Structure 1
Amino acid sequence: ILFTFKKRGLHKMKTISLVTLYFPDENVKKNITQLSHFVDNVVLLDNTPNFDNSALFLGMEKTEYIAYKENLGLSEAFNRYLKKLTENCFIIFFDQDSFCPESLIEQLKKDYQTCCNNLGRKGIIGPAYFEKNANQLMIPKQKKRITEGIYQVKSIITSGMFTELEVLQKIGLWNEEIFLDMADWDLCWRVLKNNFFCCLTRNVVLSHRLGKDVHRIGVFKIKEGAAFRVYYQTRDCLFLLRRNYVPLKFKLRFILMLTIRPVIYFIFLSDKKNRIHFFFKGIIDSKNKVHGVLSES
């Protein structure tokens, strides 16, 4: 089955980019301006609590700004907009600190079509990314080659993720029980569970930064993020451990994240007291089936 853009009418479909915001600044504005050159519409979903940043993006072409004035998290912010769409379109997700290379979106469209043609079904695709902290091009070791530079993989990151609205609708959109860091993994695994493809292309590269810094401790690479993110990582790890669509390899990884890695965090990283606090709060809130934004009450 050939899923050509012309036969399926995909060549006429709009491309909408969704970007979540959190205390955006002038650098974010530059990234959005660049992105707007390559899509039909950029939708800015602002999770900044109690604040409207619309003045920052005033007058920008092909840009729609929505102020939620509360931190909904990644998944709910995306879903509130996706649920309003009625016609199929291309969707590409971006982080606010990602700069879109000139060729990225057209290459993703081309490689998406290649995947559809070769695999006979729809799915999601994302670019390889260069991790700035590690100074390394991140390519999964576990992958299956489709054609030159394009591979089937188990997961891709949110920024640069390209798909169709139909695919997202058929898997139930983003999982709002996953607030932040692991939302992209969860979505990819549900894509695979529903017999869609999850692919990565090396034909285009996105520069990306995970956390504030990366520390090498023996064979371990530890990403140092804000202390409060330990809470979401802990809570979401425990949630995903209970889901049957999560690959065994990642379940084992989560067990390490919940045992060995916290010890390393608390010994070698800064802000130890808060990290310990957020780790145990994540465990407690997971047990109590708490979702949504971190509450200190």
Structure 2
Amino acid sequence: MIGVELALLLRKRRVWLCWALLCALPTLVAVVVTSTGVLPPPGQGPPFLSAVAANGQIFPAFALALVLPVLLPITVAIVSGDTVAGEASTGMLRYLLIRPVGRLRMLVAKLVSVAFFVAAAVALVVATSYAVGIALFGTGENTPQAGGTPAVVGFGAVPSLSGPVIEPTDLATRTMLTVAYLGLCMLTLGALGIFYSTLADSPLAAALGVLATVVTSAALQALDAAPDLQFFLPTTHWLAWIDLYRNPVLYDPAETGAWVQAGWIVVAFGAAWANLSTKDVTS
């Protein structure tokens, strides 16, 4: 069942288009930056952008910060919202459930396929932006520390957000942890998309439900009116991965965020199973 869902996922043109758009946006920004030479002063502007010109190896971190707020959630909403509602809208869901396949097993397979899309999306952004960053910005030996003070470091080393440099091997480890963490955050939206997909027969409606959840969470987070509620919002801990690029590394924010995201995944997937298991599928 999982193999069937993955094959179905890879046959959809919208999936490949989403991956292409995610990789194209950081590439476009890199080309614009190299063409214009306009960069913010150290410590200002989007995260990591001021350090990119000195060392392209840090460009994947900037790329992830670039796609995280809007484009990545939209692509996850589109793909996850189509999991059940897409088949319901075409009448395939009814015939699928006639086969000796349990509804829970089907939902697990769809969650795995969404997890594959999310993992591939984040990994492709990192791989593409790394290649683009190296090609356009290089890996200089002179890397500015925080505050703009130049420092001569080993080849390929990059500055951390706290000032001390990060060696290439350590940078690769932190980047892999970032990929895993952001994958978990986006899988929360994927699980919500599957839940909304069991409620509606329209993939667009399910996707809009995911985006509405993201917007509502971000709005409540910005209000700063209920600290206890904010802790449990899905978007509150999205930027915790940035602390992985400090020296020493601050693991607590990411660990806390991972538990919150895992809780959302369990609740959303459980709600999807509860709804589909009692749903009378007539189309």
Q: TM over 0.5, yes or no?
A: no
Larger CA Rg, structure 1 vs 2: 2
Query: What TM-score do the two structures reach when normalised by structure 1?
Result: 0.24
Q: Which structure would you say has the larger RCO, counting Cα contacts within 8 Å and 6 or more residues apart?
A: 2
Query: What TM-score do the two structures reach when normalised by structure 2?
Result: 0.25
Structure (1 or 2) with the greater strand fraction: 1
Structure (1 or 2) with the greater helix fraction: 2
